[in-house]
């Protein structure tokens, strides 16, 4: 077993969600103001592959003509000024939800079609995010530590001390179940990756200039944001849209429960000696 330290057992499934949700775009890459363009707000009807949509409640244009505006190449607006034009009448509702100092910095707009291909490689899990997801599903630490065990399993009468031989004995005891849990955790990460790629291909993620913050209250078992070139994308996966995820979560929980019972049984037997 070679996994690293894990956080607490409760709420770990939301770790990645908390870390990634609401990420602002990563840098303003354009060195020059773009040529004047007429920008059309996207309407989420039959999105093109990789196009992205602004999810409800942001877009209310299904029965109205898309709004357009021109970007003046001679005057680079701040992000706040640009977004006020972009969202029009909805800006007063959205603006208070955006917490970013960069709102008052120059914002260089880059047409989505010019940069969409660069986002294809970012749509899935980065290696470090995949590793963190797997570790969170393990609910275990290595090397095993008596203090961590004491925090996780509050056995009455146990002072939280274990010698090295006892730690090795617990590791050996749970090894088969640990390997089962690891395989399930890797399967969970694989399925999450597949659903992220599917969301990219279908264009059903949230996309907006500057940031997606404040645009949707959608929650799920996994959410992540990526950005660049003045664009921000948020991918939120729900169990309703990913029907095989909840059975996998249940299987993981059952395996962890069996492993934890072995640990508790060992610690209680130790107290009886």
- pLDDT tens per residue across all 273 residues of the chain: 544 444 443 343 333 333 333 333 333 333 332 322 222 233 233 333 344 443 322 322 222 223 444 555 567 899 999 999 999 999 999 999 998 889 999 999 999 999 999 999 899 999 999 999 999 999 999 999 999 999 999 888 999 999 999 999 999 999 999 999 999 999 999 999 999 999 999 999 999 999 999 899 999 999 999 999 999 999 999 999 999 999 999 999 999 999 999 999 999 999 887
For the chain, the structural domain boundaries read 12-272
Distances (CA, A) of 272 to 259, 260, 266, 267, 269: 21, 19, 10, 9, 5
pLDDT at 137: 98
- DSSP assignment string, 170-222: HHHHHHHHHHHHHHHHHHHHHHHHHHHHHHHHHT-SEEEES--TTS-----SE
Query: At 267, which helix (H) or strand (E)?
Result: helix 245-272
> Residue 73 in contact with residue 109, Cβ under 8 Å?
no
pLDDT at 51: 45
């Amino acid at each position: 077993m070679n996994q690293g330290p894990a956080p607490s057992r409760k709420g770990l499934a939301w770790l990645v969600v908390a870390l990634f949700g609401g990420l602002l775009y990563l840098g303003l890459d354009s060195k020059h103001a773009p040529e004047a363009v007429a920008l059309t707000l996207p309407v989420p009807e039959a999105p093109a592959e990789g196009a992205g949509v602004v999810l409800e409640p942001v877009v209310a244009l299904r029965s109205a003509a898309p709004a357009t505006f021109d970007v003046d190449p001679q005057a680079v607006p701040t992000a706040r000024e640009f977004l006020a034009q972009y969202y029009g009448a909805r800006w007063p509702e959205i603006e208070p939800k955006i917490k970013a100092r960069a709102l008052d910095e120059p914002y260089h707009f880059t047409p989505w079609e010019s940069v969409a291909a660069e986002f294809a490689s970012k749509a899935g899990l980065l290696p470090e995010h995949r590793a963190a997801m797997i570790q969170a599903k393990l609910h275990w630490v290595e090397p095993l530590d008596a203090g961590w065990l004491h925090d996780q399993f509050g056995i009455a009468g146990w002072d939280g001390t274990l010698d090295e031989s006892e730690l090795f004995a617990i590791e050996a005891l749970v090894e088969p179940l640990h390997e089962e849990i690891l395989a399930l955790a890797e399967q969970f990460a694989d399925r999450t990756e597949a659903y992220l790629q599917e969301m990219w291909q279908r264009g059903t993620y949230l996309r907006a200039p500057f940031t997606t913050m404040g645009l949707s209250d959608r929650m799920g078992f996994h959410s992540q944001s990526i950005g660049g070139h003045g664009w921000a994308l948020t991918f939120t996966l729900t169990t309703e849209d990913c029907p095989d995820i909840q059975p996998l979560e249940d299987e993981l929980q059952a395996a962890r429960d069996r492993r934890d019972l072995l640990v508790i049984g060992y610690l209680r037997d130790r107290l009886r000696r």
